[in-house]
Structures are given as C-alpha cells and as structure tokens.
Structure 1
Amino acid sequence: MNIDERLVAGIVNAVLSRMGDGADSSADADGGSCGVFESMDEAVEAAAAAQKKYLNCTMHDRAAYVQAIRDVVLDQENLSYLSRQSVEETEMGNYEHKLIKNRLAATKTPGIEDLTTEAMSGDDGLTLVEYSPFGVIGAITPTTNPTETIICNSIGMLAAGNSVVFSPHPRAKNVSLHLVRLINRALAEAGAPANLVVTVSKPSIENTNAMMAHPLVRMLVATGGPGIVKTVLSSGKKAIGAGAGNPPVVVDETANIEKAGKDIIDGCCFDNNLPCIAEKEVIVVDSAADYLIFNMKKNGAYEVKDPELIDRLVKLAVQENGKSPVTSFVGKSAKYILEQVGVQVGDDVKAIIMQTPEYHPFVQVELMMPILPIVRVPDVDAAIEMAIRVEHGNRHTAIMHSRNVDKLTKMAKLIQTTIFVKNGPSYAGIGVGGEGYTTFTIAGPTGEGLTSAKSFARRRRCVLVGGLDVR
C-alpha cells in the first residue's frame, strides 16, 4: 500500500490542532486557547495585557521570540500542512508556490535588526532616536495570502515590541487559526508572555469592525482590497494600507526577448497570479511583439485568438459591472479556466494570453488569475504612457524589460510604483531571485512601501543634556 507522507503529516497536524483546542491542555488563564478567543474584546484585552509584559523583555528576548516563529513555520511538517491547507480551504493558488511563499515569509522578513538607532552628540549632550512599539496592532489579513501575511506581520510586529490581534478572512479561517495556535505554542516554549499573537474563533466583518473600533488597538494594518484599505484609513487611528495593484509589464525592442518571455510567464503564473505584484498586462513595442509571444508560448502560455472565445473568457472572469473579477475564478489555474470554456489543455499550460486593445476588461481589471492580455504599441514611449494609465495610480508594482537605461529610468520616475522590477519576473521584487527582504504587506496607498519591523514602530527622541560627548 502506498502512503502519502504529506497527507499523513497533514492529518497529524490537524489532530494536534484540535487537541490544542481542549481547555485542559492549552487554555490560558484569561480564557483563550493558544491565542484564539471567543470574542474580539477578549482577544484585544489579552493582547494589551501581553504587550505590557512584553515591555519588560529585552531585545535579546525579542530576537528569540522572532526566531521561534521562524522555526515553527519552517518545520517541514508545519510548512507542508499550512501550504496545502491554504490551497484546499481557499481554493486558490497552488501548493508548490505556497511552500515558496511561506518559507520566504519565515526566512526573509526582517526582525530586530531593522530597528536601527540614530545618535547625535555635541557640546550640548547626546540625543538618541529609537524605534518603540505602538502597543496593540490590529491586522486584517486576506484570503489570497493568508498564512504568508500572518507570518510576516507576526515577525515584524513582535520585533518592534508590539502585540497583534489578527482578523483573518473568513474563507481562510481554519488555516489562519491553526497558524496562530502554532505560533502561540512556539512563543510559549520560548518563554514569551502569553497572547502576543491572538485572533478570534469566528472571523467576520463584525469582529473586524469591533477590532478597528476598540480603544486599546493603537494601530491598524490592512492587507487586502481597496474597500478594507479605505475603511482603516477612515478609522481615525494610525493606519497602514496595503491595497490593490494592476502591474503592467513593458517590453521594448532592446530587451532580451527570450528571457523576457520566460520571466513574464513565470511571474504571471506564480501562485496562479494571486500576488498583487504579479504581471497583470503586457505592453510591448510592435516590432518585438511576435517574438515575445513566441517565447511566452514556449514557456507555458496558451494563446487564445478566437474573439468569441475571448468574449466567453471575459464573461467567465469579470463581473457584469466590468470593475471586479469573479471571485470563484481568482487564483484558479490556467488549465481549470480553459476547461470552463471547453478548451482542454495539459498541465504544462501555465497562463492564458491574448492580444487586446488598451481598454479591454482584461487590461483594466486586476484579475488575480493567470490571464495575461498583450497590447501592441508603436514605440517604448507610448508603452510607458500606457503603463502609467493602466496601473491606475495604485503605485504598487511595475515591470520593464529593456536594455535602454534611459527608458528604464524614465519609466521608473514616471510610474512611481512601490516596486519596479527591471529585467526579471515580478516576484524578484519581494526577494525571490532578487536582492532585499520580503513582505506580503506592501503599503502603496499610505507610503510605507515594503513594510518591515520599523513600519510598525514609533520614532522617539531621548535627550541627555550636557554629557557623553567624548570627542
């Protein structure tokens, strides 16, 4: 009999998670179960009490607690279970790419090393500027990247000295609560105050609203669509909003077209196009278009040429209002989407491409599925101008393939996106095959950019008059 080891690991983790729900083995004195509470008020109050205790911990302690989170996520059984369960519960993305993303969040999210101290000394003494915690942070996490966001937010927020109350998306409830429990057990073993990372047993809009309104929550962080970002920005509290994107890719005639074709498809199909950084539309100089399409098809793209079939895909993937994707197709594979319109393809097909005009719904709407429209333009300047228009001012992510430094510079200056990837796949912008740290909370609307521990901290000045200038 063949036994699937990953399935066994998943069953074991699920059983352990349910065992952890028992009041006799894991209930906290204040009524929580490994960080999971019945009401939002209980969760926030427990997090506030934990944060007060956390103020007495050393920076060495913080580093140890952050490492505990990294270690529990990187445990192979946990990593496999979280990645598989995320796909199965949300019905979005794919297992192999979830593994990459969860591992990335655990390994490349900055910890306490991000909290650098500034010092100024002179005849009048010594002044230090340091990063201090806000207190309790309320964090709203999406269904598209549920575990990745909890991992990177937990690391960054605890590194900055805060506690955090998570409000997960209801469609990712089980995997999110499982992860919160894993983190709490790991923190307890490391000696951390209980309830630094908490949530509620029944995530809902009502609980999210209660969290945002709670007076003990000092900061709000929303990773999601424009609606929730607008809500937190209207809360009257310090807020970080990580909103939508519609990343354009510009390809000019000087680009390495073979590499561009591969990079674009690799980026577009990554986790079935769920990341907001992923390539959403291609704008290519006409003289390079045919060879680019050839190389995209060579690397797993299926080209749809029949206008009637393209119209059927539009009706399938875009809501009638023409402004939003159909949720049931978000994060689905290219093969699955094509099957729904009667086209049978193999597993080697990773993305669906077609040539469209600029104002086609596939260009204008952020789909978050591996459907990639291609628009031809006469020259690179026209391509840059179009890219700025279709990015819709989100200031999220843009990509350009070119060997012309002047044009690369021009696009970077004019489009003003938080992430600008040159000659690589979009995911290089969050540290996959590119330099730099990672995050799944990319705050274009509020300007923090790629968030890290210092994004979740306050700058404070401490002044000593008349001493410690030893020069």
Structure 2
Amino acid sequence: MDKDLQSIQEVRDLVKRAKTAQSEFQKFSQSDVDRVVQAMADAGYRAAETLARAAIDDTHFGRFEDKIIKNQFATRDVWNAIKNLQTVGVIDRDRHHRTMKIAEPMGIIAAIIPTTNPTSTVMNNMIIGVKGGNAIVSSPHPQAANCTMAAAEVLRLAAEKAGAPAGLIGCIKTPTIVGAQHLMTHDDVNVIVATGGRGIVKAAYSSGKPAYGVGPGNVPAIIERSANVTKAVKDTIAGKSFDNGVICSSEQTLIYEGAIERQVMLALKNLPVHIVSDAEKQKLKNWMFKADGKLNPAVVGLDPWRIAENSGFKVDSKIRVLIVPIDTVGPDEVFSKEKLSPVLALLRANSIKQAFNFGLTMIEMSGIGHTASLHTQDEDLVLEFAHKFPVGRLIVNSPSVHGSVGYTTELSPAFTLGSGTRSGSISMDNISAKHFINVKTLAYETKPLDKSGSTDSAIDRPFQSRRGSKQPVEKPEAPPVLINPTRVSTSVEPDQKNILYGSSGITEDEIQKIIRDFKG
C-alpha cells in the first residue's frame, strides 16, 4: 500500500480508538488519572537510557549522555511539576466572590514530534496531555520514527497497566507528511501541539484547530560588563554544547561588550572550544550553508570534529563547540542564524545598547517569541531587557537551554516552548498540563438586578431595578421601595428630581450636572 494512504488509514483508526477511550477516561477521578500518569512517568524514566540509545541509532546525531538527561527530565521532572495540579472536576472555589472553576478535558490531542528531541518530546507531551484527561495521538518525524514509537509504546503499556482504557495513547507507525496533515485536520481532533520545522508548524497553525506551536529559536546570549564573565562564558558553552545544540533554545550568538573582551577570550581559552580562523570560517560556511543561505540539514547535531572534518579542516575530538567570530548580524551573515549544531557565533559590541540591537535583530530575523539570555548584575538592565525583547523566555545568568526548559530556573519543566501570537502560537508559555484543560466557571448572583428586595421577578424591568424604579410598585397605596427611602418623596408618582440612582444615592439633577460639566 502507498505509504501516504497507509498513514492516513492509521490516523483514522487511531483517532477512532482515541475518541472511544477518551470518553471513558474523562469519567476517571483525579486520583485515578494521577495513578495512570505517574505510571507513565515512572516507566519513561526507567527507560531513559534505552530510549536515548534508540534516538542516537535512529537519527545519528546529538549526545547519548545528554539524551538520557532529557528523557529523565521529560518524565520525572515534568511529573513532579504537575503531580499536585488539579485537572479533574472542581479545581477552585472562591467563596467570597461565589465562583467555582471546573476543569474538563480538551478531548483528543494531535502531537507532531520533531527529529531533534524525538523521545523526550513525545513522552513530555503524553504525560501532560493525559494529566488533563485527554487522549493523544502522536505523529513522529519519519527520520526518528522507531525511537519515537518505542517511547510512545513504553508509556502506552504503563498507562494501560495502570487502568487507562486501550487507545488513549496512540502513535502513527508509518509517519508521512500527508499523514501528519490528516491527523491535524481530522474532525475529531480538538487541539494540536506541534514541534518541528517551519513547514509543519505552519501547517498546524493553518489547520483550523487551536494549536500550540514551537517555532525556530535564534537565541542571543548577551554578556554585559557587570556580569560574572567567567561563569557567563562557561554557561553559554554549556548550553550550546548540550546535545550538540539541537534544542531550539540553544545559544546561537555570544554577544559581549568590548570592555570585557579580554576576560571573555581568557574564559574561552580555558574551555574545550575551537575559535576558527578566517580560512576555516570560509570552509565551514561552504559546507554548513547552501547557496541560498539555508542550513545544510546534514550538520544538525553533529559532533564538532565531524563538522570540521566535513568542512575540510581538523579539530581535536574533545572540542565541544566551534566558535565563529562575526562582525554583525542579519540575513547576510549566515552564522547569526539558528544553526542546530555546536557552532556558536561570537560578536563584540561597542556598548550594551549595540549589544541589545544585535540581539533584537537576531530575534526579529528568526526566533520571534522564543528565547533570549542576558548575563549581568545590573537589575535595571534586566528590566530593560525584559521590556525590549519580544520573547517568551528571558533567561538571566543561566545557560539558555537549561533555563528555558526549567532545568536551572523555576519555569515550568517542558520541551514544548510556546512562542506567542507573533509566531502564530496561542501561548508564549512553557506548555504544560494546565494548557490541555478547558476551565468552566460557575458564578452565583452577587449583584442582583432587583435591589428592592422584592420577591417579584426583575425580568420585565431589568434596567430599572438597578437604578431605582421610575414606575409605581404594584400596590399603588404603598410608596416605592428605593435605595435611600429617607431622602425621597412618598407619593405614588415620585418627584423625578429626587429619584436616586446607584448605591451612592446620586440624584437626577446631579447626573445632569455631571453631563453638563463633561460637555464643557
């Protein structure tokens, strides 16, 4: 059978099963849901090393040690962050305002999984999705299908063993672009979470369904003169080298103030990096980028020594990052773009103002809404940074990668990083379980239309009852009951000048005076 047709049929079968399973699962109590999700997280954590090896075997890029950490983080840390979150039934009561919030599942989630983080992302999405009472069907990247399906299967078996209905968790075994598009547009799919290249994320936004999208990042790492320079440089290299730079919040250009150049270069000298020469830079450019400036996909996640070798020069196998000095940023400087590899641009700025401008150019060029990082001890500068940069994650004094996913900060642990409306996503948050529930609000009356205290319905006079009736009450012999009866006439037909409006007891004459004053 044609692969596209096979993929489409799989989608139909998986969504059908998911719909049946979710209708049963939404009846589960909070404790039952949590038992299922904890079983999934525990199973994924135990399989972290096996799945990391499977990801390396499937994709042939990244670092095995780092993929273990990612898998552990996507299971144990994510679960620990959401385990106390109420996602079933009444989740909040406000007795003072007489409101109540009730959670309900969104339904069926379509999850598009990238090749860069295939096992960690699929487990992260399944854990947070099922925590919300949803079913989830995942579409792996074709180049990472085996490891993604293996991870999904680990969590599926654990969930069903813990009592989840069969079909609640599904994964396409024959993934194709056509199959992914069919999944996203399926009538029974309620929400999409898409991580990957521009094309698939754009397709998610264009599906007609609510979508959490993770677009490209192009993170500037700015070091200001008051920073702990040695730590800042070390953090930047730690972030850039993690899993060979494949995470979208990885640092892309290290921008530093010229006043601290000597300290920056000394810090780099003591780290396992190689600063390329002009000749090596040209060779690197020729191999890493196509004639149109687009990134050569073969570079993604490769070890630095392999990138150098493919480019025509050699570096020691212990080198973790290739450093490329540049003079500016923008479309004409390809090294100032997202590189998805352990290649980091290095740029001197004459002032912090110029450094910010360089960083903003990078963000606007490619990375709007995503992440930026700043190293400084100047709190006023931190606030300026926060106001100026149009990104969802503003990381201060931490590796951008680790800070953005919540590993070294108090951000919600996540591998799905929303980039906001300017990039087409419905959220700038780190996407978590709270993003996969609908919240209904129940509200009791606290400001009745009929303030007279009458037991009669106010339906026939809804606007009069809030300001005091201009009509006599039903019993003509009785005076109208108004807000401040001691200040009004007791006649059946009240004096219009003395009728009071609102809780403050304002009169008609006073209202007219206010109007005249505004008219000048």
Q: 1:435 aligns with which of 394, 404, 410?
A: 410
Distance change in 2, residues 1:454/1:448 (3 Å)? farther
Per-residue CA deviations over 1:263-297 (Å, capped at 9, x if unaligned) read: 11111100000111111111111121232122123
- Measured in 2, the distance between the counterparts of 1:337 and 1:308 equals 15
In the alignment, which residue of structure 1 is the partner of 2:57? Answer: 88
List gaps (5 residues or longer) in structure 1: 1-35, 467-471
In the alignment, which residue of structure 1 is the partner of 2:499? Answer: none
In the alignment, which residue of structure 2 is the partner of 1:444? Answer: 419
Distance change in 2, residues 1:439/1:58 (3 Å)? same
Once the two structures are TM-superposed, the CA of residue 404 in structure 1 deviates from its matched residue by 1.5
Identity of aligned residues (%): 29
Give the TM-score, by structure 1 length. Answer: 0.86
Say whether the 8 Å CA contact 2:205–2:213 is kept in structure 1. yes
Distance change in 2, residues 1:390/1:90 (3 Å)? same
Q: How does 1:289-308 map to 2 (within 5 A)?
A: 289-305=261-277, 307-308=278-279
Once the two structures are TM-superposed, the CA of residue 37 in structure 1 deviates from its matched residue by 10
In the alignment, which residue of structure 2 is the partner of 1:286? Answer: 258
1:309 aligns with 2:280: yes
Q: 1:343 aligns with which of 301, 306, 313?
A: 313
Bigger Rg, structure 1 or 2: 2
Once the two structures are TM-superposed, the CA of residue 361 in structure 1 deviates from its matched residue by 3.2
- Measured in 2, the distance between the counterparts of 1:281 and 1:131 equals 42
In the alignment, which residue of structure 2 is the partner of 1:370? Answer: 342
In the alignment, which residue of structure 2 is the partner of 1:22? Answer: none
SS in 2 for 1:391: helix
Once the two structures are TM-superposed, the CA of residue 462 in structure 1 deviates from its matched residue by 2.8
- The one-letter code matched in structure 2 to 1:147 is T
Once the two structures are TM-superposed, the CA of residue 464 in structure 1 deviates from its matched residue by 5.5
Say whether the 8 Å CA contact 2:11–2:182 is kept in structure 1. yes
In the alignment, which residue of structure 2 is the partner of 1:15? Answer: none
In the alignment, which residue of structure 2 is the partner of 1:55? Answer: 26
Give the TM-score, by structure 2 length. Answer: 0.78
- The one-letter code matched in structure 1 to 2:324 is M
In the alignment, which residue of structure 1 is the partner of 2:117? Answer: 145
- The one-letter code matched in structure 1 to 2:77 is K
Per-residue CA deviations over 1:298-331 (Å, capped at 9, x if unaligned) read: 11110112x2321111121122211x31111101
Once the two structures are TM-superposed, the CA of residue 460 in structure 1 deviates from its matched residue by 1.0
1:162 aligns with 2:137: no
- Measured in 2, the distance between the counterparts of 1:120 and 1:190 equals 34
1:406 aligns with 2:380: yes
- The one-letter code matched in structure 1 to 2:415 is F
- Measured in 2, the distance between the counterparts of 1:80 and 1:283 equals 35
Distance change in 2, residues 1:401/1:362 (3 Å)? farther
- The one-letter code matched in structure 2 to 1:283 is I
Q: 2:12 aligns with which of 32, 41, 66?
A: 41
1:217 aligns with 2:192: no
In the alignment, which residue of structure 1 is the partner of 2:355? Answer: 383
Once the two structures are TM-superposed, the CA of residue 465 in structure 1 deviates from its matched residue by 6.3
Per-residue CA deviations over 1:433-461 (Å, capped at 9, x if unaligned) read: 33343111101132241011011111212
SS in 2 for 1:384: helix
In the alignment, which residue of structure 1 is the partner of 2:146? Answer: 174
- The one-letter code matched in structure 2 to 1:280 is Q
In the alignment, which residue of structure 2 is the partner of 1:273? Answer: 245
Once the two structures are TM-superposed, the CA of residue 345 in structure 1 deviates from its matched residue by 2.6
In the alignment, which residue of structure 2 is the partner of 1:420? Answer: 394
- Measured in 2, the distance between the counterparts of 1:355 and 1:386 equals 14
In the alignment, which residue of structure 2 is the partner of 1:12? Answer: none
- Measured in 1, the distance between the counterparts of 2:410 and 2:199 equals 32
- The one-letter code matched in structure 2 to 1:59 is Q
Say whether the 8 Å CA contact 2:15–2:189 is kept in structure 1. yes
SS in 1 for 2:239: helix
In the alignment, which residue of structure 2 is the partner of 1:20? Answer: none
- Measured in 2, the distance between the counterparts of 1:303 and 1:137 equals 45
- Measured in 2, the distance between the counterparts of 1:319 and 1:335 equals 20
Once the two structures are TM-superposed, the CA of residue 362 in structure 1 deviates from its matched residue by 3.9
In the alignment, which residue of structure 1 is the partner of 2:3? Answer: none
Once the two structures are TM-superposed, the CA of residue 240 in structure 1 deviates from its matched residue by 1.1
Per-residue CA deviations over 1:161-189 (Å, capped at 9, x if unaligned) read: 10001011011100111112111211121
- The one-letter code matched in structure 2 to 1:458 is N
SS in 2 for 1:119: strand
Once the two structures are TM-superposed, the CA of residue 376 in structure 1 deviates from its matched residue by 1.0
Say whether the 8 Å CA contact 1:302–1:353 is kept in structure 2. yes
SS in 2 for 1:343: coil
SS in 2 for 1:450: coil
Once the two structures are TM-superposed, the CA of residue 87 in structure 1 deviates from its matched residue by 1.4
Distance change in 2, residues 1:465/1:412 (3 Å)? closer
1:254 aligns with 2:226: yes
Aligned residues: 425
Say whether the 8 Å CA contact 1:285–1:380 is kept in structure 2. yes
In the alignment, which residue of structure 2 is the partner of 1:70? Answer: 41
Q: 1:461 aligns with which of 441, 464, 474?
A: 441
Per-residue CA deviations over 1:399-451 (Å, capped at 9, x if unaligned) read: 11111211122112100321111111111232223334311110113224101
- The one-letter code matched in structure 2 to 1:452 is S
In the alignment, which residue of structure 2 is the partner of 1:97? Answer: 66
List gaps (5 residues or longer) in structure 2: 1-6, 447-520
Distance change in 2, residues 1:256/1:403 (3 Å)? same
In the alignment, which residue of structure 1 is the partner of 2:325? Answer: 355
- Measured in 2, the distance between the counterparts of 1:435 and 1:243 equals 22
SS in 1 for 2:311: coil
